[in-house]
A and B are shown apart, each in its own frame.
Chain A
Amino acid sequence: RKEVEQDPGPFNVPEGATVAFNCTYSNSASQSFFWYRQDCRKEPKLLMSVYSSGNEDGRFTAQLNRASQYISLLIRDSKLSDSATYLCVVSSGGYQKVTFGTGTKLQVIP
């Protein structure tokens, strides 16, 4: 089993739709969780951290379920500019070694 698993997609959704991605992780001792966004031929950039209590940033909501070992990202009112690959990131260990998922591709269509 991979340390971090994501559905590669692509998810093709119309503008204005709500879309959700899940990501599962295998190490129950994982401590920190993030969602990164990567545009085509660009570097990954932090979208948001994921806290145990869940957190929201505008149209984006991230949730963590430790019991089932998954994190989720919900995007409401999708915009064309949301088209990108979304990478799930899990960090564990004293030195915060991070593991990236292979990403979920989102394409928002007009």
Chain B
Amino acid sequence: DAGVIQSPRHEVTEMGQEVTLRCKPISGHNSLFWYRQTMMRGLELLIYFNNNVPIDDSGMPEDRFSAKMPNASFSTLKIQPSEPRDSAVYFCASSSQTGWRGTSTDTQYFGPGTRLTVL
């Protein structure tokens, strides 16, 4: 299995530009998570999907951030317009969970991350 795939691996952009991060989860996994990691705040959950449906987006910082999962094999995280404080490493992770009342302890598998720098 190829694991979770993220692109691009590195992104440098200027303030005000739109940024789109992409993620392909592990085939067969039904949950997908977007995280942001900074030195100051650690790893923060932004949003997660179960069976392509957004379940909790309370971690999304503000309206400039949006995420979609049009099908089971693809998700995007978009920032528009980007700001310097958005600079961070963005991770996508996927897992196979038993459903909304499940008590699955299945592992989350992380992609290699996208290192975003907004100038």
A interface residues, Cβ below 8 angstroms from B: 31-32, 34, 42-46, 49, 87, 91, 94-103
Contacts and interface: CB of A to CB of B under 8 A. Distances in A.
25 contacts: A32-B103, A32-B104, A32-B105, A43-B110, A43-B112, A43-B113, A45-B110, A46-B107, A46-B108, A49-B105, A91-B105, A94-B100, A94-B101, A95-B48, A95-B50, A95-B100, A96-B103, A97-B48, A97-B55, A98-B33, A99-B45, A100-B42, A100-B45, A102-B42, A102-B43
A96 B45 contact: no
Contact of B45 (A44, A98, A102): A98
B50 A101 contact: no
The 7 closest A-B pairs by CB, nearest first: A102-B42, A43-B110, A100-B43, A46-B107, A32-B105, A94-B100, A95-B55
Contacts of A46: 107-108
Interface of B: 31, 33, 35, 41-45, 48, 50, 55-56, 91, 97, 100-105, 107-108, 110-113
Nearest to A95: B55
Contacts of B111: 43
B43 A87 contact: yes
Given A95-B48, A96-B97, A44 B105 contact: no
B113 A98 contact: no
A32 B104 CA distance: 8
Contacts, number: 56
A100 B45 CA distance: 8
B43 A44 contact: yes
A96 B110 contact: no
B12 to A, nearest CB: 16
Given A96-B104, A103-B42, A103-B43, 10 more contacts: A34-B105, A43-B112, A87-B43, A94-B101, A94-B102, A95-B97, A98-B33, A99-B45, A100-B35, A102-B42
A96 B104 CA distance: 8
Nearest to B91: A43
Contacts of A87: 43
B111 to A, nearest CB: 6
Contacts of A103: 42-43
